[in-house]
A = this chain, B = another copy of it.
Amino acid sequence: MEYKFSDRVSNLKPSAIREIFKYAADPEVVSLSAGNPSPDAFPAKAIAEISDDVLKNNPISVLQYSVSEGYTPLRQHLRDYMKRENNTGSENDDIIITTGAQQIMDLCSKALLNEGDVVICEAPSFIGSLNTFRSYNAKLVGVTVESDGMNIEELENALKTNPNAKIIYTIPNFQNPSGVTTCLEKRKKIYELAKKYGVLILEDNPYGDLRYSGENIPNIKSLDTDGIVIYAGSFSKVISPGMRVAYCIAPKPVFQKLVVCKQGNDVHTNIWSQYVCDEFITKYDFNSHLAKLRSIYTKKADFCMDLLDKYCKPAITYNRIDGGLFIWCDLPQSINMQDFCKKAIEHKVCVVPGNAFLTDESDPCNSFRINFSTPTDEQLEKGIKILGELANNWN
């Protein structure tokens, strides 16, 4: 049989990160390539209590079919929580629960993008989302990420020259992979430009609750008086990624299409896990839990940056981060990044080559991404020391 695949997936490759994970699976390898929450970060005891209780007393409620919009109490509680804590969402919006935030990218692509339509992305950006857009044959246009967010001139130029741009995709807080946080002024400008050019903003905020220093900056969605922002939130980094529970706050007409698309994707999200998330954020002290996570990750982030200062100067430079799980490291022009990443694997350290995060992987890039949430402190020290030795003795 000669298989004829669809045009949209014929050229789609497995994620470059996945390929790297094959090396990372070797127990001798120090992996700085993942994005997994720290094993300390899971509220496992609370999850066990909640689950145990419902399976004893009302099992059918979490084992039977449910509705595509999501578990009604969770939707209501998230609506209240996001309004109260983040001034996010209005009466013109509605909320849908999804199977991880990755599904939000999929549903928005399905609902909004014709083949060839343009998605304007930060360059670099989250590879998972880029691949979803690609899987709908969207054209990706990258806008350079500066230390305070997208280059606004480039963004306006991209909007001007791409009349079929439909979405601006942005991760404004502690961006994956760059670690950059978009400043308030740029958030306002991105909003104004989207409005001016009639384009929707897809604001992806998986790390927003993981701020280690500095003041919170309002979500772009909190500025949304025109119904042009779709907000993606997730429990993956603050409760459990294995459960695949996320939520999307969208203008009602968009919400309605997302629900129809969700029916066709997977009918509804695992209701047992939705119930557990709902009980956890309402019956437990969710804010204390978040404070605990911040404390765990602040320590790990500081430790990681101290190691970079200690072992990697002067060859490897990086921007300090205020939150999130990733640090973006730059190599001097004298070191070829791809060669460096390969050499690192030979020395049993795994990082992600920066070009994996570009809209065009063949664009020049001399950076790589490291993650500090997954490895132990010992692994971090061992891995970063090796990276520093490699870079500082390159030839």
Within 8 Å of chain B (Cβ to Cβ): is A183? no
CB-contact partner of A56 in B48, B105, B198, under 8 A: B48
Within 8 Å of chain B (Cβ to Cβ): is A266? yes
One digit per residue, 1 when the CB lies within 8 angstroms of any chain B CB and 0 when it does not, for chain A 254-285 equals: 10010111011111111111000000000000
Bound CA–CA A114/B6 (angstroms): 5
Within 8 Å of chain B (Cβ to Cβ): is A112? yes
On whether A9 and B132 interact (CB within 8 A), knowing A51-B55, A55-B44, A242-B270, the answer reads: no
Instruction: Note all chain B residues with C-beta closer than 8 A to A64.
Output: 36-37, 39, 42, 240-242
Quick check: B112 and A115 within 8 Å, CB to CB? no
Instruction: Note all chain B residues with C-beta closer than 8 A to A266.
Output: 98-100, 102-103, 106, 244, 265-266
Instruction: Note all chain B residues with C-beta closer than 8 A to A363.
Output: none
Within 8 Å of chain B (Cβ to Cβ): is A296? no
CB-contact partner of A267 in B3, B5, B14, B244, under 8 A: B244
Within 8 Å of chain B (Cβ to Cβ): is A128? yes
Within 8 Å of chain B (Cβ to Cβ): is A59? yes
Instruction: Note all chain B residues with C-beta closer than 8 A to A257.
Output: 5, 9, 12
Bound CA–CA A34/B66 (angstroms): 11
Within 8 Å of chain B (Cβ to Cβ): is A316? no
Quick check: B226 and A260 within 8 Å, CB to CB? no
Bound CA–CA A3/B267 (angstroms): 24
Bound CA–CA A217/B99 (angstroms): 35
Q: A37-B64, A270-B270 are in contact. List 5 more A-B contacts (CB 8 A).
A: A8-B110, A39-B60, A63-B243, A110-B135, A128-B264
Residues of chain A touching chain B, judged by Cβ–Cβ distance below 8 Å, are 1-9, 12-15, 18, 34-37, 39, 42, 44, 47-48, 51-52, 55-56, 59-60, 62-66, 68, 98-100, 102-103, 105-106, 110-115, 117, 128, 131-132, 134-135, 166, 198, 200, 226-228, 236, 240-244, 251, 253-254, 257, 259-261, 263-273
